[in-house]
Amino acid sequence: MQEIAIDLGTANTLIIHEDKVVVDEPSIVAIDRRTDKVIAVGHRAMQMHEKTHENIKTIRPLKDGVIADFYAAENMIREMIKMIFSKKRFLLPPRFRMVICIPSGITEVEKRAVKDSAEQAGGQEVKMIFEPMAAAIGIGIDVEEPMGNMIIDIGGGTTEIAVIALSGIVADQSIRVAGDEFTLDIVDYMRRQHNMLIGERTAEAIKINVGSALADLDVPPDDYAVNGRDLMTGIPKQIIVTYSEIAHALDKSISKIEEAILKALETTPPELAADIFKTGLYLTGGGALLRGLDKRVSQKTKLPVHVAEDPLRAVVRGTGIALKNMDKFTFLMD
């Protein structure tokens, strides 16, 4: 039986097969409205996003870390698995043992939807692991130790904050404020401040190029030229934005994440809190790449903050390790 580990994310889906990340694609599907057939998945579908005509629609099957469109999610998982085995020929469709990571704040119904989608896409044995736990394993923390570690995983749809000790989650907060919310904040800011309409993809590019959590950075990025539509005249135009403007636009959402971190720290047992004072906080997920975020969280909590190495892949790496050592980590999984 083939084994694969999947990080089914709101923004990106990553798949590990034979210890290698073989798929790293945006979580998006393009569907032909007339036939309901999938035309494209991942990067190709992303190129079509917000540029389609009436016969094609692009769907992001996951919202806030959970499946919002069952049919699209199932097709997306199936097509992405096909990418791994495109060169191989099978007499029968392969069956898979899968480990998929899920947000810690997920409901039983949402969990069932993930499992059903995976089984429909060829999963014979489907196990699930919580994202913060996978992130902790992925960045090399020994989760079995009686030592408290706090993981803050800022993904596309959710921010997962968890205190982990003895292979379990002791205190956790899961809030639906993350990368997607940052993108919407930027769209909103450009409309209010500059009378300019931009799409999600442009907002995403702004976030990557000049996104910042602090209005004053030691190493500031270059100003960024943004193209969009003028709301007054309806004509396309270009303006230049600075990182401090974007820091201002993202301020409210980042404050919500800070509040959730403080809430999780408040509910942490005192002995584990003492450990966290020594070990500090670990940032993973795409949101960890936001300039100055570690410094801002550190100022708020007065604790050391470490950004994981390659934070985008921390969760999928941990899921892959859990898959390889299934007997050792079996109690972490559902």
Instruction: State the pLDDT at residue 89.
Output: 63
| Among the ranges given (44-53, 79-88, 119-128), the one the predictor scored with the smallest mean pLDDT | 79-88
Per-residue pLDDT reduced to its tens digit, 18-44:
889 999 999 999 999 999 899 999 999
Q: Are residues 158 and 224 in the same domain?
A: no
Q: Are residues 278 and 190 in the same domain?
A: no
pLDDT reading at 256 higher than 70: yes
- Whole-angstrom Cα distance, residue 328 to residue 318? 13
Q: Are residues 116 and 265 in the same domain?
A: no
Q: What CATH number has the domain bearing residue 83?
A: 3.30.420.40
Query: Mean pLDDT for the chain?
Result: 92
Instruction: State the pLDDT at residue 208.
Output: 95
- Whole-angstrom Cα distance, residue 45 to residue 29? 6
Average pLDDT of the segment spanning 57-64: 92
Instruction: State the pLDDT at residue 105.
Output: 83
Domains in the chain, number:
3
- Whole-angstrom Cα distance, residue 290 to residue 62? 22
The answer to whether residue 139 is domain-embedded is no
CB 121 within 8 A of CB 78: yes
pLDDT reading at 91 higher than 70: no
Q: Are residues 296 and 230 in the same domain?
A: no
Q: Are residues 82 and 209 in the same domain?
A: no
Q: Are residues 130 and 207 in the same domain?
A: no
Return the H-helix or E-strand segment holding 109: helix 108-120
The residues, ordered by sequence, that sit 6+ positions from 20 with a Cβ below 8 Å of its Cβ are none
| Percent of residues, the chain, with pLDDT higher than 70 | 96
Q: Are residues 52 and 78 in the same domain?
A: yes
Instruction: State the pLDDT at residue 331.
Output: 64
Q: Are residues 239 and 95 in the same domain?
A: no
Instruction: State the pLDDT at residue 104.
Output: 86
Average pLDDT of the segment spanning 117-139: 90
Q: Which of 8, 322, 3 is nearest to 136 (CA)?
A: 322
Instruction: State the pLDDT at residue 92.
Output: 61
Average pLDDT of the segment spanning 290-311: 95
Q: Are residues 168 and 220 in the same domain?
A: no
DSSP per-residue codes, 6-50: EEE-SSEEEEEETTEEEEEEES-EEEETTT--EEEETHHHHHHTT
Q: Which two tokens stand for residue 141?
A: 């923390």
Q: Determine the structural domain holding residue 262 and report its residue range.
A: 144-177+254-309
The answer to whether residue 36 is domain-embedded is yes
Q: Are residues 28 and 120 in the same domain?
A: yes
